[in-house]
Structure 1
Amino acid sequence: MTRLFGTDGVRGKANEVLTAPLAMRLGAAAAEVLTRENRSSKRNPTAIVGRDPRVSGEMLAAALAAGMASRGVDVLRVGVIPTPGVAFLTDDYGANMGVMISASHNPMPDNGIKFFSAGGRKLPDSVEDEIEAAMQTLSEGGPTGHGVGRVIEEAPDAQDRYLAHLREAVSADLKGLKVVVDCANGAASEIAPRAYRAAGAEVIAIHNRPNAFNINDHCGSTFMSEIQRAVLEHGADLGLSHDGDADRCLAVDAKGNIIDGDQIMAILAVGMKENNDLRQNTLVATVMSNLGLKLAMAEQGIKIVETQVGDRYVLEELNTSGFSLGGEQSGHVIIPEWGTTGDGILTGLSLMSRMKETGKSIAELASVMTVLPQVLINVPVADKRVIDDAPEVISGIADANAELGKTGRVLLRPSGTEELYRVMVEAADQEQARRIAGKLAAVVAAV
């Protein structure tokens, strides 16, 4: 049986794979698992529910709330807000669990459901497995009378609480910086411009008019040409581009050059080391991070600990080992002191704070790292589970590694949310990386 949870919650095309009945049952099962140790005769457990603006979020939020309320959980709906906002509010309101409804950077027809435990923490695989098992054994009935959960439709102070948290985390005065922010017509559309303006920056917001259907539509962190164009048009100092649920941030410099997640981590790691905030002088990154990041951090006396792909695994390593900074090339950056998950707005504020602290442009700060040529090809496959063990794939990887030697590397991995296999090749030369990646992609596609 295929596991319901992927690398970041439950995702699928809304109303086809991720249906309202499934969401209601998932909400009920999660309520039973995540609140069973917090049951009291005096008050119901509580849950926070937020979403991004896509149209199916309204339907799924209602279904999830119904499922949780049917299991005696009071539900506070906080409306459209970034994923890290839901994580923060789960802790700030003292809730027993939180739920974010979003498919992040995926197209509008998709949607997803992410759960947080008390304190706003992502769930380990073992707890997700418990929720899946509970879905199979749910009774038809639940508590009655006073035991039925309430659904509160609006939390008027939710955004203000989250904004105050961001301001506490980064208190620098950003006056004098001009920033363009691409909100992806997503969850950041209102709150990101507010956060940057509150810190003193001059803000030009683009793609900040969600209409339930235009999220991630040729905008945001997966469509960087928009922010590049806007930065040049407005003569801004930098641009910041978020994804649909604003848990990631990519940047561009004043000339429109992209600053990816690896470069952002390098900038922040160096700054934190200088300020004695980088615990154990260690940065946590995934196996997808560019080899250039490793080389740059070695020059700065900073160690790198690698995890598998997924910000949840970065977070797990941060928490287990007590490190203070980690993230992904895609722009998920986690600062555990101020968040339990990647926070794109916090990342943007931190970058601008570093610019003000040093008096340097973001291009100057990013120059600490040289990005080595890296080619990533997403290969559609019929069944991603059979790729790893295919003899022709194993042979192709061996040939590629033999050619690259110590000057590059090869990484093949399945997508956690789609029937895709990702082929990544790094090499000293762009053409060599492209040629080897294309050859491996063809091998994968033929399996």
Structure 2
Amino acid sequence: MPKYFGTDGVRGIAGVELTCELAFRLGRAAGRAFHPRRVLLARDTRLSGPALEAACAAGLAEAGCDVSLAGILPSPAVSHLVRTGKFELGSVISASHNPPEDNGIKFYDPQGLKLSPQEEERVEVLLDGVPPRGRLGSVEPWPQAEDGYRDFLLRAATGLSLQGVKLALDCAHGATARVAPQLFQSLGARLTVIGREPDGSRINATGAAVIEPLQALVRAEGADLGVAFDGDGDRAMFVDSRGRVVEGDVLMAALAPQLHRSGELSARAVVFTVLGNMGPERYLNDQGFQVVRVPVGDRHVSWAMREHGIELGGEPSGHLVFGRYAPTGDGLLTALLTLRALQRADVDLASLVAPVPVYPQVRADVRVHDRTGALQDPHVKEAIEAARALLGGKGRLLVRPSGTQPLIRIMAEGEDEGRLQRAVGLVQDALAPHRAESVEESMG
């Protein structure tokens, strides 16, 4: 298993866990592992981004790669431009939805997919040691990246007009802060935008991971719809005209039959992660669709879609993959295709998702010192079994380590909310000796 890579690249506190020295070594190792001649490198708005970008670019150049700097750009733009352009490797300096002090580095292969664990291991084994001297690559700006990405999005959304649509956006002070308002204005939308300043000190203070400001904005402005992106733009979360959140699994269940009828889905199948709600799954089953479950992480969704020939998949958190258009999650693409589906059906978002049932969920995050050690504790294991027994056959419990933060994530789902609370509480109590700081709990 990779030592540095998690579920979405390498992440850590910038300057502490993810240093410029490590960024240089990662860039050099990736160049040595895959021998790309041309690499596209982008970043989000984090304050540590320029330094880590420079270090990673220097490492790639030392490995002989010619590096094109796209500047601030959503992660899925790099996936698209690598897949369709002149590049053999893509890299993004971003920690996605993590707090501002964190940063990360992830890579995209020539198909626009995130690296597999085996490919990540190839990078890690080359982190140490001095490579043989050779040709130094170049590092140059590539300012046309944003235009190329915007053109792709507009082509994908052919036929969409937002004339008269009152749309609220939250760009999370991140990588979509420039491109998103321009894109939706060009389609005729009447926009109200928060988080539109590209500000690395406030990245993800609002957005897909903190949806309440958008809910308040939609209600206050009387918007028809709200869309929130995360820091690197690979997620989109939706809010209907009454300020209610529509999670990704519910949206996929509502969209899938319509997309199949219009010919945009060839298979009657959708990929969910283990976090997907049972309600949307049962709705899809009733509509004649198969649901394939995979581990958490949009790369697992992408791999399963490719393996099974499925063209729609995603996570409740808003990572949605529309395989006909892109191989990875793309928040702006998700927003455009959803708006076009609403336009074609002549319904609002609330009406589209109304038939999809949602089972109650209780979720809690427990910050711990050691994720692996906490889950290996016999008392924690006993508590998990007791919680599952409490739910019986009328619910399910998922306890897992976060792949990107020092958290144990707990989720219970079923019909009896009181029983769900008790089940989650059993696990929280057992994790108390391992707790680092705080516990966050929510109802879903």
TM range (shorter): over 0.9
Q: Which residue of 2 aligns with 1:342?
A: 329
Q: Deviations over 1:119-156 (max 9, x none)?
A: 322111001001000112342x531xxx2111112x22
Contact 2:170–2:229 at 8 Å: present in 1 too?
Answer: yes
Q: Are 1:437 and 2:419 counterparts?
A: no
Q: Which residue of 2 aligns with 1:270?
A: 257
Q: Distance in 2 between matches of 1:2 and 1:358?
A: 46
- 1:90 to partner: Cα distance: 1.4
- 1:77 to partner: Cα distance: 0.3
Aligned pairs (5 A) from 1:24-63: 24-35=24-35, 45-63=37-55
Q: Distance in 1 between matches of 2:419 and 2:92?
A: 41
Q: Are 1:107 and 2:99 counterparts?
A: yes
Q: Are 1:401 and 2:357 counterparts?
A: no
- 1:375 to partner: Cα distance: 1.0
The residue type paired with residue 19 of structure 2 is T
Q: Distance in 2 between matches of 1:96 and 1:223?
A: 35
Q: Are 1:185 and 2:173 counterparts?
A: yes
SS of aligned partner of 1:421: strand
Contact 1:94–1:118 at 8 Å: present in 2 too?
Answer: no
Contact 2:227–2:335 at 8 Å: present in 1 too?
Answer: yes
Q: Distance in 1 between matches of 2:352 and 2:30?
A: 44
Q: Distance in 1 between matches of 2:305 and 2:186?
A: 29
Q: Distance in 2 between matches of 1:412 and 1:304?
A: 21
Q: Are 1:65 and 2:52 counterparts?
A: no
> Once the two structures are aligned, what percentage of the paired residues are identical?
38
The residue type paired with residue 71 of structure 1 is A
Superposed CA RMSD in Å reads 1.5
Q: Which residue of 2 aligns with 1:297?
A: 284
SS of aligned partner of 2:316: coil
The residue type paired with residue 204 of structure 1 is T
Q: Distance in 2 between matches of 1:259 and 1:194?
A: 24
Contact 1:263–1:293 at 8 Å: present in 2 too?
Answer: yes
Q: Which residue of 2 aligns with 1:210?
A: 198
Q: Distance in 1 between matches of 2:255 and 2:186?
A: 21
Q: Which residue of 2 aligns with 1:42?
A: none
- 1:112 to partner: Cα distance: 0.5
Q: Are 1:83 and 2:75 counterparts?
A: yes
Contact 1:21–1:63 at 8 Å: present in 2 too?
Answer: yes
Q: Which runs of 4+ in 1 moved over 6 A?
A: none
From 344, 353, 364, the counterpart of 2:351: 364
Q: Are 1:133 and 2:125 counterparts?
A: yes
- 1:2 to partner: Cα distance: 7.3
Q: Distance in 2 between matches of 1:66 and 1:110?
A: 21
Deviates more, 1:58-67 or 1:296-305: 296-305
Q: Distance in 2 between matches of 1:249 and 1:409?
A: 26
Q: Could you say if the C-alpha distance between residues 212 and 446 of structure 1 is closer, same or farther in structure 2, counting changes exceeding 3 Å? A: closer
Q: Deviations over 1:403-431 (max 9, x none)?
A: 22222100110011122111110120222
From 74, 90, 105, the counterpart of 1:98: 90
Q: Deviations over 1:179-219 (max 9, x none)?
A: 101000000101111222223322222110123311112x1
SS of aligned partner of 2:42: strand
Deviates more, 1:241-250 or 1:405-414: 405-414
SS of aligned partner of 1:12: strand
From 171, 179, 184, the counterpart of 1:196: 184
Unaligned runs of 5+ in 1: 39-44
Aligned pairs (5 A) from 1:226-305: 226-305=213-292
Q: Distance in 1 between matches of 2:143 and 2:366?
A: 44
Q: Which residue of 2 aligns with 1:41?
A: none
SS of aligned partner of 2:118: helix
Q: Which residue of 2 aligns with 1:6?
A: 6
Contact 1:34–1:117 at 8 Å: present in 2 too?
Answer: no
The residue type paired with residue 276 of structure 2 is S
Q: Distance in 1 between matches of 2:313 and 2:128?
A: 36
Deviates more, 1:419-428 or 1:202-211: 202-211
Q: Distance in 2 between matches of 1:256 and 1:184?
A: 18
Q: Distance in 2 between matches of 1:397 and 1:71?
A: 48
- 1:398 to partner: Cα distance: 2.3
Q: Distance in 1 between matches of 2:200 and 2:281?
A: 40
What TM-score do the two structures reach when normalised by structure 1? 0.94
Contact 1:29–1:138 at 8 Å: present in 2 too?
Answer: no
Contact 2:388–2:423 at 8 Å: present in 1 too?
Answer: no
Contact 2:2–2:120 at 8 Å: present in 1 too?
Answer: no
What TM-score do the two structures reach when normalised by structure 2? 0.94
- 1:276 to partner: Cα distance: 3.3
SS of aligned partner of 1:288: coil
Q: Deviations over 1:62-117 (max 9, x none)?
A: 00111111111100000101000111111233201000110111111100001011
Unaligned runs of 5+ in 2: 435-444
Q: Distance in 2 between matches of 1:78 and 1:266?
A: 35
